[in-house]
Chains A and B, each alone.
Chain A
Amino acid sequence: MTQVLIAEDNIISARIMEKNIKDWGFCAVLTKDGKEAWTRLRQNPKDIQIIILDWMMPRVSGIEICRRLRRFQDKTGHYFYIIMVTARDERRDMIEGLLAGADDYITKPLDLLELKARLMIGRRIIMLQTKLMELASRDSLTQLLNHKSILEHIEEELDRSTREGHPLGLVLLDIDFFKKINDTHGHTVGDQVLVEISSRLKNSIRKYERAGRYGGDELLVVVTNCDWDKVKKVSERLKRVVCSRKIMTDAGSIKVNLSLGGISSVSRPHAGVKILLRACDRALYRAKEKGRNCCVVVP
């Protein structure tokens, strides 16, 4: 459900908007002035999609909040759809509001049908933007997270892991002799193998796990709250799920094996993403040295 934050110091206006917005199928969050709105938005920005800002509020005005939000957005990448609400209906005020970063503008006294229509527009834009971001974060072949997105995901989870004191697990998967598959059967068959492996991976990972395409034939799985023992179990599960059946391709059915390297941040509590990935890479290298088709998890 689309969440709408209302920043309005007029308690009657706020209550009217809140009730109607809920009746129209949105979730409404009320704040009584600009300062409270700003604090709330900074705490959990991704919870809110649309913001209704009254222009004139004590402590911090709506237009100042609008400017701050656009600067905040530049840093975080999270887009808010902003509707300014005000009794100031002079053209230059409307222009000032739009130049400050508002997406839309509505004047008081509020016409509820107009507000509803403008919220629907906001919701369409937000849904479109979400879809575009989703497409931009995906690898076009495998539909897993792409390289950039899986690394960003690791950064976020590492931050959370540090805050909450739960270790993070990484598992790097490499398709054994993938180059040979491409050379023997062609890249189209190679792609079919990659797509099927990715699909099996996607269908087997749990909701607290994320999979991404790290390199050409290298996939990376991120597991939260994961110590050394759990990384081992996850690696074995992934290998079993992916390799237990042959893969149907245009060149017939092909047996694939994986080499997997896994680590947990439990023994590297202050390590950054690069150090963890290097350790994971070394684990994978050891799996290949051992003859491939196996998992190596290093403490």
Chain B
Amino acid sequence: MNDITTERRNLIDIPSALERIGGDSSFLDELLELYQSDFMEKFGLLRQALEEKNFLSIHEIGHGLKGASANLSLLDLQRISYNLELAGREKNFALAEQSLRDLEEGFRNLKSFLAQRKSGI
């Protein structure tokens, strides 16, 4: 598998996601839309939690994003969310901040890939 394929697979492992949800690709599209709007909401809450140094919320949001990402085989976002969850549990502010930045970038990459996929690129 070449680097681009691996990179894409880490963004979203489509065969694995389809297998997990029963094979329906239009349902996968629906779930990805849902994920994106849920992510935006959680990201806003995460920023606030970081400002307030609310590690319980950071942990819960990380846990939630980790689960949602895992369901759709969004491997990068799943890994970053796990770090966020860990940061919350260990009250590690530096790791939480870094995870926030990584999430933002990871989400941007995912959105870009999905937009390209939608337009057939």
Contacts and interface: CB of A to CB of B under 8 A. Distances in A.
Pick the 7 closest A-B CB pairs, nearest first. A12-B68, A10-B67, A12-B71, A11-B38, A10-B68, A16-B21, A109-B70
Contacts of A109: 20, 70-71
A15 B71 CA distance: 11
Given A16-B71, A19-B27, A109-B70, A9 B20 contact: no
Contacts of B20: 16, 109-110, 112
A283 interface: no
Nearest to B59: A56
Contacts of A108: 67, 70
A10 B64 contact: yes
B31 A9 contact: no
Contacts of A15: 30-31, 34
Q: Report the interface size class on chain A.
A: 10 to 19
A108 to B, nearest CB: 7
Interface in B23-79: 27, 30-31, 34-35, 38, 60, 63-64, 67-68, 70-72
Q: Taking each of A12, A15, A87, which has the highest tally of chain B beta carbons within 10 Å of its own beta carbon?
A: A12
Contacts of B60: 58
Interface of A: 9-13, 15-16, 19-20, 23, 56, 58, 87, 108-110, 112
B22 interface: yes
A59 to B, nearest CB: 10
Interface residues of B, number: 17
Given A12-B34, A110-B71, 17 more contacts: A10-B68, A10-B71, A11-B34, A12-B38, A12-B67, A13-B68, A16-B20, A19-B22, A20-B21, A23-B22, A56-B63, A58-B60, A87-B67, A108-B70, A109-B70, A110-B20, A112-B22
A19 B27 CA distance: 9
Contact of B31 (A12, A58, A87, A112): A12
Given A10-B71, A13-B68, A15-B31, A20 B22 contact: yes
B31 to A, nearest CB: 6
Contacts of B27: 19
Contacts of B67: 10, 12-13, 87, 108
Contacts of A13: 67-68, 71
A12 B35 contact: yes
Contacts of A9: 64
Nearest to A10: B67
Nearest to B32: A12
Nearest to A20: B22
Nearest to A19: B27
B82 to A, nearest CB: 11
B16 to A, nearest CB: 10
Nearest to B64: A10
Interface in B76-108: none
A136 B64 CA distance: 45
A19 B64 CA distance: 20
Contacts of A112: 20-22
A285 to B, nearest CB: 66
